[in-house]
Structure 1
Amino acid sequence: MIRLALGGRPLEVLCLGAHPDDIEIGCGGALLRLAERTRLSLHGLVLTGDGRRADEAMLSLPAFVPSAKVEVAGLLDGRLPAQWGQAKEVLEDVAGRCAPDLVFAPRVDDAHQDHRVVGSLASTAWRDSLILHYEIPKWDGDMRSPSHYVALEEEQARRKVELLRACFGSQVSRDWWDDELFMGLMRIRGVECRASYAEGFYTSKVLLDLSEKGAEDAESCID
């Protein structure tokens, strides 16, 4: 199993979502693992949402990582392609204040138009950061084969689902939103990487450190 070494130093992480709940569905398990770190700075940016949905976005990420800070831009849900310029300005503003080691973002080929905009703009705003694109199950049937995984214990997988249910009351009536879907996808990804459960991610560019120093840093890592 190839491991991604994140080292023992303070880690700065940025999570991007087109909508409230994107981040938590896509990488909630990885966030629970990151929350175990003692030196972590985590910032969340959600591009759309107002009213109850904005409130959910502000409160949910800190439920996964208590120290998390969240911003909601309030752009129109479902209309990000038409608001491309505004979305880019929002991301560039955050990029001017945040130089993360790791960025979580939607997939660039996601079937949802809002997800694609955020996913594609992420790599232009943060060229020097490792970007892991997360997946979101949906009726469009756009699942792919991940290139990277974060392994999860059963307790972490179940905690993720518990928090999704608790934090996003506005979504629980949707026909696709249920514990079985979220647990099932994590179990499939777990089988693929020989773990109990896992989340899958996609990336187009990774720099490998093959030096002795890189090997030493790999002793402290997230699987």
Structure 2
Amino acid sequence: MKYKRILVLAPHTDDAELGCGGTIAKLLDEGSEVFIAVFSTAEESVPKGAPNNLLEKEFYHAMEIMKIPKQCLFVYNYQVRKLSYYRQDILEDLIKLKNKINPDLVFLPSGKDVHQDHQVIYSEGIRAFKNLSILGYELPWNHITFSTQAFMELNYHHIVSKWEALQSYTSQIELHRPYFTKEFIEGLARVRGTQINKEWAEAFEVLRINL
């Protein structure tokens, strides 16, 4: 089955690209329409002295590189690390997105992700989209375990697109986060590719699949 309308739920500005940026690039290549919803621009987490909206600007630049039109982007400004305070509001936002976009595939953080904001988007995402196909993406630094139940085979240019988009987040690269390196992005994609006897891939937790 070819999915035509894809919705990616990202707790924070860089999670969609980190978790499934290569898959997004491939789906766009195949003609799918991709929508991305970000729930926190993490204004409290920007480097000291930087503008509050720095991460939001970096996100829009990353989306421009990936060639996702602005009308396909939804950015909310919930307070970072406090999404649990706004569960009902977030659920209502998700229901509105469902009605507006009518996606046939949803990506969201894995149920094994221990970050408090990611757990909220996972739980409320399952609630809002329980009748649709849902895959959980991996962010290994937030996991103790992760079930690699589905794989998206990628070409190298999809990995290149992912890394080019991630380079928009200069604020995160300057913090020397180990997962914000080309070596990490390529290494994880090689590991996931090896698991399915391919060169490159991204892996996902299967939450629901409608065939």
* Coarse TM-score class (shorter-chain normalised): 0.7 to 0.9
Q: Which runs of 5+ in 1 are unaligned?
A: 209-223
More helix by share: 2
With normalisation by structure 1, the TM-score equals: 0.82
> Whose Rg is larger?
1
Structure 1 stretches of 4+ moved >6 Å: none
- Give identity over the alignment, percent: 27
Q: Which residue number in structure 1 is paired with residue 194 of structure 2?
A: 191
Aligned partners of 2:207 and 2:129: how far apart in 1?
Answer: 13
Q: Deviations over 1:145-172 (max 9, x none)?
A: 310010112232233112211x211110
What is the TM-score when the length of structure 2 is the normalising length?
Answer: 0.86
Partner of 2:47: none
Q: Which runs of 5+ in 2 are unaligned?
A: 44-52
Q: Deviations over 1:77-121 (max 9, x none)?
A: 111112222222221221221210111111122011111110121
Query: 1:1-223 to 2 correspondence within 5 Å?
Result: 5-6=1-2, 11-38=4-31, 40-49=32-41, 50=43, 51-67=53-69, 69-138=72-141, 140-165=142-167, 167-174=168-175, 175-176=177-178, 177-208=180-211
The answer on whether the counterparts of 1:14 and 1:44 sit within 8 Å (CA) in structure 2 is yes
Q: In terms of mean alpha carbon deviation, does 154-163 or 68-77 score higher?
A: 154-163
Alignment CA distance shift 1:135-1:79 (3 Å): same
Task: Report the residue type matching 2:60 in the other structure.
Answer: M
> Over aligned residues, Cα RMSD in angstroms?
1.8
Name the SS for the 1:108 alignment partner. Answer: coil
Secondary structure at the aligned position of 1:30 is classed as: helix
Matched residue pairs, number?
A: 198
Letter paired with 1:133: G
Is this contact kept in 2: 1:41–1:67, CA < 8 A?
Answer: no
Deviates more, 1:80-89 or 1:61-70: 61-70
Residue 62 (structure 1) shift: 3.7
